Amino acid sequence: MKVIFVLLLFMLSQKVLYAQLFTQRTNIQRYYSDTSTIGEAFGTTHYAIEFARGFGSLGDEQAWNGKFIGSVDFYRWNSTGVLRGVFSSEFSANPHNDISFNPRAIIWEQALVLQLDGFVMGLQHRCKHDIDNSDSTHGDTPSISSVRKRVLINSGLHFGWVGKIERQSLTFDYVFRTEAYFYTSDYRFPANNKAKSYEDIRGSLMSAGRLEYSLADKHSIFARAWLSLCAFRTSPYSVHGLDFNARLEGGYHLRGKQAGLDIFFSWERIFDETAFTIPSPTHCVSIGIRSASSVFF
């Protein structure tokens, strides 16, 4: 219990760090062993689906948020050694049209991950694109003069450590990870160079964890946190060269044989609401539901 408490305090300290385009920030693959598919190619797949209703974000751009994640083990050579592919997307929508659901942006992420016991390393590519960017912020009023566009690209490599601590009814899953980027882009139309640019981002550190308390055989409550710091190269548009994101979440978990269901409340701070061409920070309180394979936390 003391070990879990210390780790949770560390996770919540200002020294735990990451980048915003990480669509898997609420669904990270935990440390686990699997002997059933050793020696098999494409031996197993996993999924995570999440949908949330948000309140209070800048321009209500995070009024709706959904995440879809798939993982496939390309080859497993022992119980904790595996080469896998991870494919995910995240979309957001505001309520500014006649059906109160106006899609605005989508993020794609693909990663090739090598796991050796708790150590993970891999390559990842992320890109963010607008949806209906010929429309204004209010989706039922298209106009040539309101065309805007912002495309973000972020490619690099990562190294991390995933672990788990179990004490009677308590389980604590955690991850520490660092990333470095070799290609970045922040294309904006109309063009501007205001505020921080994703073109200047060079690396990030991240820590996340989930503390779960079992109430009964299939029922539990949980708390999770995700905190991050991004490093920007020195430029007139990257003040102090640093910025951060954070997320706190709590809720109820129902366990199944192969997957589970979360009902959660969350608060998230993002340093750049990428639906806008001029970067601006945003905060959001959400209520959501998530279904995920048991390998995700």
pLDDT of res. 192: 87
Q: What is the mean pLDDT of residues 61-87?
A: 96
ω into residue 190 within 30 of 0, thus cis?
yes
Unique residue bearing structure tokens 């006649």: 98
Q: What is the mean pLDDT of residues 30-57?
A: 95
Distance in angstroms (rounded) separating the CA atoms of residues 266 and 245? 14
267-290 tens-digit pLDDT = 999 999 999 988 899 999 999 999
Assigned CATH for 2-293: 2.40.128
Q: Where are the domains of the chain?
A: 2-293
pLDDT of res. 11: 41
pLDDT of res. 207: 95
Phi-psi region of 258 (alpha: psi -120 to 50; beta: other; left: phi over 0): alpha
pLDDT of res. 263: 98
Answer yes or no: is pLDDT of 50 > 80.
yes
Answer yes or no: is pLDDT of 7 > 90.
no
Annotate 116-166 with DSSP letters as a single string: ETTEEEEEEEEEEEESSTTS-SSTT---GGG--EEEEEEEEEEEEEEEEEE
Question: How large is the C-alpha radius of gyration of the chain?
Answer: 19
Answer yes or no: is pLDDT of 160 > 70.
yes
pLDDT of res. 144: 64
pLDDT of res. 20: 57
102-118 tens-digit pLDDT = 999 999 999 999 999 99
pLDDT of res. 191: 87
pLDDT of res. 238: 52
20-38 tens-digit pLDDT = 578 999 999 999 999 999 9
- pTM comes to 0.86
The DSSP call for residue 218 is S
* Average pLDDT value over all residues in the chain: 89
Q: What is the mean pLDDT of residues 153-167?
A: 96
pLDDT of res. 129: 95
Answer yes or no: is pLDDT of 140 > 80.
no
212-262 tens-digit pLDDT = 999 988 999 999 999 998 888 876 655 557 888 999 999 999 999 999 999
Pairing state between β 259-270 and 282-293: antiparallel
